[in-house]
Structure 1
Amino acid sequence: MRFARTSTDVALGGVVLALLGYSAYQLATVWGPQYWILDTVAGAVVGVIALLRRHDQWRPAVAGLGIAFVTGLVAWTAGLPTEPGPAMAVGLAVLVGSGVATLPIAKAVAVAAGGLIVAVGSVLVGHSSGIGTVNVAGWLVAVVAGSAVRIRDVRRHAAAERIRQDERLELARELHDVVAHHISGIVLQAQGARIVGRRTPSQYDESLAGIEAAGADALAAMRRMVGLLRSDDVVPGPVRLDELRELVERFEDRGPAVELQLPATEPSWPPEVMITVCRVVQESLTNVARHAAHATTVTVHVAQLHHTVAVEVIDDAEPATRHQRAGYGLIGLRERVEALGGTLAAGPGPTGWAVSASVPLEPAR
């Protein structure tokens, strides 16, 4: 991303410099000595402002449009060549397009309106209809391009929100299942405590301690699940290793072979942890199917390391197929893992694409 931005800035700088040189030569040839100075200085300043716009789109746009307006007014009153010139028109197009694409709607409209005033003004009071046409065309391209980027971002945001709402509804069902699981255990222990109290009164306190511990576990699990609900991004799925094995088998029926490494016995992990582990595997395999069609083998490794569950999914796709796979699924998955106090990383690995997650078995205190 940084390389792409640098390349864009270098290209923009090159275009502005080339246009400044061309305009200066033409003005000096047609209009005479010193007529090129205003155009060159103002165009260079606006070009530099366009290159420095990265972290603040509003103030550079206002500054660039202000300089263009003043320059055009000076040129008109002094009988100088039409302004803004070609170099400044490119800088203004960049500033207006960036502003329309990223600024809040009111400021975006203000920037677009300011650019239109400058462009139309160059047509109405300028000495060259050709330069005025260049300014209007530059403004039109900037507004169209900026609007297209803005509409794309709005659609992406709307799609993400729809996905989040659907997943929040599914998590509500998961929350019911998790709490029901723990409450059932409390009820069974309470029934056992009644029997123990009648037969062996000395063990009654021990039974009550077990009920208390079960209640604390239920409360902790509920808090963790509510944390997931607040994280907005969750995906429903299996809650046992057998169902995880079935998921892998279904994937192998349509995709590459999977080298699956799981705990030897069914672990006693909290339900919300098991669900999240399965979601990591499911989303990773889905990404392999979508983006790594040439992969021949996928390694899925799930293990408990002390008080943490580690998950790793690696494919062996060729380098040509290694590209960013950070769709809505991985974004939501990372938020879900982090809501449980864990971490998730995804990116190119030694042989292909790798997704690794670490999920703590107990909530942070």
Structure 2
Amino acid sequence: MFRRLTPFQLTIDIVVASLCVLVRSVLPFDSWAGWSMLLLMGAALALRRVSPLLALALAWVGAVIQMSAQMPPDAANLSILAVLYATARYGDPLAKWLGLASAGLGAVVATAYLIANSFTAIDLSTVSMAAVLPRFGFAILLGFGSSAAVLGLSWTLGFLARTWADARLARRTQLEAERAVVVEQERNRIARDMHDVVAHSLAVVIAQADGARYAAATDPTAVDSALSAISGTAREALAEVRLLLAQLRHSQQAGPQPVLADLESLVDQVRASGLEVEVRERGEPPTLGASQQIAVYRIAQEALTNALRHGTPGQPVTLELEWSPDVVVLVASNPVAATADPTGAGHGITGMRERAHLVGGRLDAGPDGDRFVVRASIPVAS
């Protein structure tokens, strides 16, 4: 029955209702019924979002008191419109449909009340019924139509606002679910890529350990060499396991692993498809682990693919690689066609960002002037 509002929202509702009551109280009432009606309408206005059903009940009580005292329509009655809007916008199903029923019933009651007051003010001894009835029939139609339009419009606006809010929430939920699926798919693909890397490292360790055990008796110097190889390989494998243990799936299919040396063939493939690529390198390539090499390759691959799809035809793409002992910076930049949307509903940017994140780096992608820029920073040591 009661909705949870933030302190700010509750304060705003109370302050607005209080100001409305103070403004109306400048013109005092002649009876307690008028003050009671004003306070009830103000309370309904203050509670319309906290409890639409309670606000609707208070508005009805205030209206009944007003009609019982034979008071004319008052400015305080405008709060009824806000209450009807709130029943459709914030109320539960019961409050929503009671609000709609109240709009219809309120139009009937308001019309009957106004017509009855007007009818009692006419001296029937001086006017014939034949002359009065057509005028009252028109007044009934006009009064009911006007009341139903105003009250019904308030409820309808609330219902439309609720529908739009539900549609936005459903869309947001769908996008979050799609992103979760994309992230999971990308993690599984990375796990498949790294499966062979870890398996290869462990195979090297086993082979070196067996070789050292067999050679220990005949060639003691071979033991030191084997232990050094085991140590280096095991450290690299441990780093890979720490990075991808949460994503590793033993059921994934094995596949060939791209390395930095494959970047040249990747660029050649893209050029063969008609895209001009300018490659710029600064510094000397450091020794990267297998996961970092795969991340650099896959990000470059996806960035060039996006440029091929969304870039301006005939305009070159720039691929910059800045090597340093601590970090590898990859920047891909291409002009964007006027009708293209590189940040649209695709999954490429999400996949690239996940690649960079899982090796301890970061990736930013977005428009920069008339160009679309992908910038990734991959640490050399994770």
What's the TM-score, normalizing by structure 2?
Answer: 0.62
Question: Which residue among 308, 322, 326 is the counterpart of 1:307?
Answer: 326
Max radius of gyration: which structure?
2
Please give the per-residue CA displacement for 1:74-106, whole angstroms capped at 9, x wherever unaligned: 34542446655667767877x54xxxxxxxxxx
Q: Which residue of 2 aligns with 1:329?
A: 348
Mapped to 2, the partners of 1:328 and 1:112 lie a distance apart of: 38
2:134 is aligned to none
Aligned partner of 2:50 in structure 1 is 62
Alpha-carbon offset, residue 217 of structure 1: 1.8
Q: Secondary structure at the match of 2:278?
A: strand
TM-score, normalised via structure 1 length: 0.64
Contact 2:363 2:374 in 1 (8 A): yes
* Cα distance in structure 1, aligned partners of 2:205 and 2:328: 26
Judge conservation of contact 2:182–2:351 (CA < 8 Å) in 1: no
Match of 2:372 in 1: 353
Contact 1:240/1:274, CA 8 A, preserved across alignment? yes
Which secondary structure state, in structure 2, belongs to the residue aligned with residue 359 of structure 1?
A: strand
Matched, 1:276 2:276: no
- Whole-Å separation in 2 of the counterparts to 1:307 and 1:187: 31
User: In structure 2, how many angstroms separate the alpha carbons of the residues matched to 1:275 and 1:141?
Assistant: 50
Query: What is the number of equivalent residue pairs in this alignment?
Result: 299
Alignment of structure 1 residues 180-329 onto 2, 5 Å: 180-194=199-213, 197-202=216-221, 204-227=223-246, 239-254=258-273, 256-261=275-280, 268-293=287-312, 296-317=315-336, 324-325=343-344, 327-329=346-348
CA distance in 2 between partners of 1:240 and 1:359 (Å): 14
Letter paired with 1:216: R
Q: For residue 62 of structure 1, give the secondary structure of its aligned residue in structure 2.
A: coil
Structure 2 gap segments, 5+ residues each: 1-19, 25-33, 68-72, 111-146, 250-254
Query: Would the alpha carbon gap of residues 263 and 91 (structure 1) be closer, same or farther in structure 2, given more than 3 Å must change?
Result: same
Q: What per-residue deviation string (whole Å, max 9, x for no partner) do you get for residues 328-363 of structure 1?
A: 432343233223221211222255111111111222
Asked if the contact 1:298–1:316 (Cα under 8 Å) also holds between the matched residues in 2, the reply is yes
CA distance 1:136–1:160, shift in 2 (3 Å)? same
Structure-2 residue corresponding to 1:74:
62
Percent of paired sites with the same residue: 25
In structure 1, runs of 5+ residues without a counterpart are: 1-19, 25-33, 47-58, 97-109, 231-235
Structure-2 separation of matches of 1:323 and 1:168: 22
- Describe the SS at the equivalent of 1:306: coil
The answer to whether the 8 Å contact 2:333/2:372 transfers is yes
Q: What per-residue deviation string (whole Å, max 9, x for no partner) do you get for residues 26-48 of structure 1?
A: xxxxxxxx9xx97xx97xx78xx
Partner residue of 2:156?
137
Cα distance in 1 for residues equivalent to 2:342 and 2:56: 41
Q: Deviations over 1:131-154 (max 9, x none)?
A: 222133223322332332233234
Assess if the C-alpha contact under 8 Å between 2:201 and 2:237 holds in 1: yes
Deviations, residues 199-231 of structure 1 (Å, cap 9, x unaligned): 43245245324313322221221111225559x
1:62 is aligned with what amino acid? V
The structure-2 alpha-carbon separation of the partners of 1:137 and 1:351, relative to structure 1 and needing over 3 Å to count, comes to closer
Does the CA contact (< 8 Å) of 2:326 and 2:380 recur in 1?
yes
Distance 1:295-1:117 versus aligned 2 partners, 3 A rule: farther
CA 211–315 in structure 1, closer or farther in 2 if over 3 Å, else same: same
How far residue 239 of structure 1 moved from its aligned partner, in angstroms, is 1.5
Structure 1 residue 113 displacement after superposition: 4.9
Of 165, 184, 191, the match for 1:146: 165
Cα distance 1:125–1:85, how it changes in 2: closer, same or farther (>3 A)? closer
Compare 137-146 and 284-293 and name the one that shifted more.
284-293
Q: Report how far residue 192 of structure 1 moved.
A: 4.4
* C-alpha contact 1:237 1:278 (8 A) present in aligned 2: no
Q: CA deviation at 1:176?
A: 1.8
CA-based RMSD: 4.3
